[in-house]
């Protein structure tokens, strides 16, 4: 059985949990408390030298880190990852966008908020807010002309971007100026097998 090292509040972990549920794949979940430093113990660093969850362990013992790489691995051969060369690359384009232009701002402000670290990082907040809002604007522009990110259908690009966007308010982002994005959130929520971020697989 697949084993997922995970932290329930994590949007990066949620991406993987959500896709596993939508694919109907059973898995064992191992909770790693990032606030208690459990990702930085010698034991965990032996599993993932980068000291982060999510981490997927395959039945043969191989391991795969980075949420979006895990999504690509799981989605291979399914409708969630198109076969067409350009469409596949466009899925990757949005997943790289998520990691470089979205997650470092939207996810980090949410993390600082719930971990009580907002005050300690006060000087960095305005830039995070500005760059996160810029990412939302890019999404809004695309979604005002397309129902999903690639090829008119739900793919792992939507999974990757949904994870932290649908809880962006928890980091203080107001989504009301982005109506096309809000309509897309509803479409994603309505996909078969959608589960909330708090779903633990049990
Ligand atoms: N680019 C990575 C980011 C993973 C990441 O930042 N994980 C956080 C939780 S969301 C973590 O494990 N933090 C604990 C730590 O840095 O020690 C991915 O997409 O999987």
Decide whether 2-75 matches 85-189 in CATH topology.
no
In the structure encoding, which two tokens stand for residue 117, read together? 């670290």
CB 94 within 8 A of CB 139: no
For residue 137, what pLDDT is reported? Answer: 98
In the structure encoding, which two tokens stand for residue 92, read together? 């990757």
Per-residue model confidence as pLDDT tens digits over 80-118? 999 999 999 999 999 999 999 999 999 999 999 999 999
Structural domain spans, the chain: 2-75, 85-189
Query: To which CATH superfamily is domain 2-75 assigned?
Result: Glutaredoxin (3.40.30.10)
d(CA 174, CA 188): 19
Ligand 1 centre and the CA of 144: distance in Å? 31
What distance separates the 2 farthest-apart alpha carbons in the chain? 48
Consecutive H or E run containing 107: helix 103-114
For residue 170, what pLDDT is reported? Answer: 98
Q: Indicate which atom in ligand 1 lies nearest the CA of residue 53.
A: 12
Ligand 1 centre and the CA of 10: distance in Å? 8
Topology of the domain comprising 85-189 = Glutathione S-transferase Yfyf (Class Pi); Chain A, domain 2 (1.20.1050)
For residue 201, what pLDDT is reported? Answer: 85
Ligand 1 centre and the CA of 52: distance in Å? 4
Q: Provide the 3-class DSSP secondary structure of residue 64.
A: strand
CB 70 less than 6 A from any atom of ligand 1: no
pTM listed for this prediction: 0.98
Ligand 1 centre and the CA of 156: distance in Å? 18
For residue 38, what pLDDT is reported? Answer: 98
CB 48 less than 6 A from any atom of ligand 1: no
| Tens-level pLDDT at each residue, the chain (202 residues) | 999 999 999 999 999 999 999 999 999 999 999 999 999 999 999 999 999 999 999 999 999 999 999 999 999 999 999 999 999 999 999 999 999 999 999 999 999 999 999 999 999 999 999 999 999 999 999 999 999 999 999 999 999 999 999 999 999 999 999 999 999 999 999 999 999 999 998 6
CB 53 less than 6 A from any atom of ligand 1: yes
In the structure encoding, which two tokens stand for residue 80, read together? 């969630």
* 2 conformational bin, left if phi > 0, alpha if psi -120 to 50, beta if neither: beta
Q: Indicate which atom in ligand 1 lies nearest the CA of residue 107.
A: 10
Ligand 1 probe mutation, 6, 12, 164, most atoms within 8 A of CB: 12
d(CA 113, CA 125): 11
d(CA 166, CA 11): 10
Per-residue model confidence as pLDDT tens digits over 138-158? 999 999 999 999 999 999 999
d(CA 195, CA 22): 9
CB 54 less than 6 A from any atom of ligand 1: yes
Mean model confidence pLDDT for the chain = 97
For residue 178, what pLDDT is reported? Answer: 98
């Amino acid at each position: 059985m697949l084993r997922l090292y995970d932290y329930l509040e994590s949007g990066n972990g949620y991406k993987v949990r959500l896709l596993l549920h939508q694919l109907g794949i059973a898995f064992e979940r191992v909770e790693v408390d990032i606030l208690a430093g459990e990702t930085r113990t010698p034991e965990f660093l032996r599993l993932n030298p980068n000291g982060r969850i999510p981490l997927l362990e395959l039945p043969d013992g191989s391991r795969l880190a980075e949420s979006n790489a895990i999504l690509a691995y799981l989605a291979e051969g399914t409708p969630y990852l198109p076969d067409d060369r350009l469409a596949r690359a466009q899925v990757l384009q949005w997943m790289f966008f998520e990691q470089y232009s979205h997650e470092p701002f939207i996810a980090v402000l949410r993390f600082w908020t719930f971990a009580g670290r907002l005050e300690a990082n006060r000087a960095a907040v305005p830039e995070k807010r500005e760059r996160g809002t810029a990412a939302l604007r890019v999404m809004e522009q695309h979604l005002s002309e397309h129902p999903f990110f690639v090829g008119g259908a739900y793919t792992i690009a939507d999974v990757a971007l949904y994870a932290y966007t649908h809880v962006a308010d928890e980091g203080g982002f107001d989504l009301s100026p982005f109506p096309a994005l809000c309509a897309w959130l509803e479409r994603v929520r309505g996909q078969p097998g959608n589960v909330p971020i708090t779903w633990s697989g049990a």
